[in-house]
Amino acid sequence: MANGEAASAARTKYQQIVDDLAAQIHSGALPAGGAVPSESELMERYRVASGTVRKAVSELRAIQLIETHHGRGSFVRARPPVQRKSSDRFRRAHRLAGKAAYLAEAEESGGTPAVQVLFVGPVDAPAEIARRLGVAAGVKVLARKRRYFRDGTPTEEATSYLLWDVVKDIPAVFAENPGGGGIYARLEEHGHLLAEFAETVRARLATKPEAVALALSPGAAVLHLVREAVTDDGRVVEVCDTVMAADQFVLDYRFPARD
Amino acid sequence: MANGEAASAARTKYQQIVDDLAAQIHSGALPAGGAVPSESELMERYRVASGTVRKAVSELRAIQLIETHHGRGSFVRARPPVQRKSSDRFRRAHRLAGKAAYLAEAEESGGTPAVQVLFVGPVDAPAEIARRLGVAAGVKVLARKRRYFRDGTPTEEATSYLLWDVVKDIPAVFAENPGGGGIYARLEEHGHLLAEFAETVRARLATKPEAVALALSPGAAVLHLVREAVTDDGRVVEVCDTVMAADQFVLDYRFPARD
DNA sequence: TAGTGGTCTAGACCACTCC
DNA sequence: GAGTGGTCTAGACCACTAG
């Protein structure tokens, strides 16, 4: 090391910069929403090379203290309140009242929701999806891919896969907006009464494309949900694959203790 | 870009290296558990500078495809089969059969489970826990903290908080091993019939102490569960706070679509 | 156009592991 | 001691944002 510091701390330079900036954020010296000094300014201030500053900044981003925007700068993160996803968001009463699940949720969490439909059309069912739908891999199914926003920032991306036989006579599910109550309401109107949902939950780090789609820093955590919609006669008619920004959600489940 | 490739992909060099190595891992050309070529070898092979290789390697680590060990090398992660945590793991039938929940689970996932009791004794209820238990913050409750292992590696750490009034006359819940069926069986034997569980799920990155406790690389994802046990008379008698290594678990929930 | 972050180079030196 | 990953330098050039 070039300088003659005590070095007893045994900390690396970039870690010292991380700690220093983190302390400034927690103390309020760098207020939430405000700009972090630019990388070139940090290079001067801490007398280090660009790579060192970048590593520190990247660390601060990984622990979600700041967010960086190419060409604009880095900013102290103002943590938005989390959304709750409660397991009764799919209640039939909500569907009858004309609400889609995401709206039933958003109502309670206070943000302004938005949906962007990315794709609606036939696709060859991926192996994992086909298995859950009880069809052969590669069979034609209807895919509906959309991205959800809250207050303008993307929060989750979901793809629904529906059995072609089930939906081919339901024009509304091919539309961008399937109408009040969402696709589940349309399915029930056409005699496919839903009995239960089975949801599997995983957590992992975002892949690069996911990080881009959800405006996350690479290395941020995501929740990965796969939900099956099961009808009265035991058939899985829909599988919904959802990737959510982990810091935006809390999932709620209740289940009986009895047999 | 130096080479005369189509370049329509507009991908960066390090991303190309990530994609290439990821493909080799998924195809089995780089077998699970095996060594990844050293950074200097990757520099030669891809004709790039050290920093570029390091960025690619760091990305692969973030996505959990490899793990790196200082001085030894990088290795393809041997993903152990994940454990399923299904919401019926707390069925009364399991308790009557003398199984604790974690054993009911482990049976199906094939690993050898182990539990280490870290602490059993009275503590002042943390604010969040007290709120859920319906008592004032700082009130004395019984805490049971333990760490779970599968095949020798730590997978989760859980702390149960129990109302003191409820457990003070149940000696078994103060023991390291509360006996067949776990503490829930003891509670029911003493007239506290459980009606339902309410579970909240979050995902986030591991803190430093969590990473140490669960032998995770820093920046790994964890699942954070908080579960309330509710009795017949609507009282929350226990709150269990659990942090799990995200790559070890899949959570399963089923819930009715009807009202 | 000036300023910002993002990628990349071609090295140096250090810390750790294994033989 | 040879080989590995980890930190750091002092630049270059590119891509994006804003005035």
Tell me the two tokens of residue A223: 């929740």
Residue with nearest Cα to nucleotide D9 C1': A49
Distance between CA atoms of B141 and B160, rounded to whole angstroms? Answer: 10
pLDDT in tens, B61-75: 877 788 888 899 999
- CB contact (8 A) between residue B88 and residue A255: yes
Q: What are phi and psi of A92, to 5 degrees?
A: -60, -35
Alpha-carbon span A251 to A129, nearest angstrom: 23
Distance from C-alpha of A135 to C-alpha of A142, rounded to nearest angstrom: 13
For the stretch B4-23, pLDDT in tens is 333 234 478 898 899 899 88
* Amino acid making up residue B238: E
- pLDDT band, very low/low/confident/very high, at B244 (cuts 50, 70, 90): very high
Of the pLDDT bands very low, low, confident and very high (cuts 50, 70, 90), residue A174 is very high
Contacting residues of B for A240, CB less than 8 Å apart:
none
Pairing of strands B83-86, B249-256: parallel
Contact A118, A135 (CB under 8 A): no
Full set of structural domains in chain A with CATH: 13-76 (1.10.10.10), 83-252 (3.40.1410.10)
Does B255 contact A90 at a Cβ distance shorter than 8 Å?
yes
* A183 has pLDDT over 90: yes
Round to whole Å and give the CA distance between B201 and B209: 20
Q: Give the tokens for residue A170.
A: 């339901």
The CA angle A114-A65-A15, to the nearest 5 degrees, is 150
A13 touches strand D (CB under 7 A): yes
Residue among A194, A200, A223 minimizing CB distance to B252: A200
For A94, residues 6+ apart whose C-beta sits below 8 A from its C-beta are A101, A104, A181
Cβ distance of A90 and B202 shorter than 8 Å? no
CB contact at 8 A, A144 and A160: yes
Model confidence at A99, in pLDDT bands (50, 70, 90)? Answer: low
Residue type, A17: I
